[in-house]
Amino acid sequence: MTKLAGMKLMGGTEAAAGIEVVADIETAGVEMAAEQTIRVADIISDSIVDGPGFRLVVFAQGCNRNCPKCHNPNTHARDGGYTVTCEEVLTRAKKNPLLQGLTFSGGEPFLQAGAFSCLAKAVAECGFDVVTYTGYTYEQLILGADNENKWLELLSNTDILIDGPYDDSQRTLGLPYRGSRNQRAIDAKASIARNEIVTYDSLT
């Protein structure tokens, strides 16, 4: 939002020109987000096991954890998979009238946090919610966030965060959308706002 304090009020012509400039900037921002590319292992259009409702799942390519008995070992190599634009993913999501939201899984989405945050912003504007899986804990993301890795940006645009690495020794089938008991379903936006972890009671 433009700060008006201390600024000279514009006349009609000047104001109209100012509005056009703002509109151009906003349009450019949308176009830049649409052109942002993400390296993915796969995209599934209609999952019901990766978050609430019907979901489009984007599996990020690249992970440095190598968790024993990982469900998706094919996603580990950073140079594997293929690239897609945010616009391509968004177009695919819009084709499903039953879709509730998108899920970012992996691989590790936070290795491409800048690109995934752009996608998260774009899909939110279309009315979709966002679930993000990560091998990091919420605390690690908060403490390690900086301007370069964009972790906080992706976290701020995530509705539900499933955090923590898969731990086969704590494997469970009893927790919705999680594979092991150490993983948590966190309300990311509320947690940031309150400066404390807020979990989704309906998913515990």
For 63-86, what is each residue's pLDDT tens digit? 988 888 888 898 999 999 999 999
Number of domains in the chain: 1
Whether residue 54 is contained in a domain is answered as yes
Whether residue 158 is contained in a domain is answered as yes
* Structural domain that includes position 115: 37-203
pLDDT at 34: 63
The candidate with the shortest Cα–Cα distance to 178, out of 154, 194, 200, is 200
**How much is the pTM?**
0.82
Whether residue 7 is contained in a domain is answered as no
Cβ burial 56-65 (10 Å sphere, 16+ → b, else e): bbbbbbbbee
Whether residue 32 is contained in a domain is answered as no
Contact 141, 110 (CB under 8 A): yes
pLDDT at 43: 97
Please state the separation of Cα 27 from the chain's center in Å: 21
CATH number at residue 177: 3.20.20.70
pLDDT at 160: 97
CA separation for the pair 70, 72 (Å, rounded): 6
Whether residue 29 is contained in a domain is answered as no
Whether residue 104 is contained in a domain is answered as yes
pLDDT (average), residues 16-35: 46
pLDDT at 24: 42
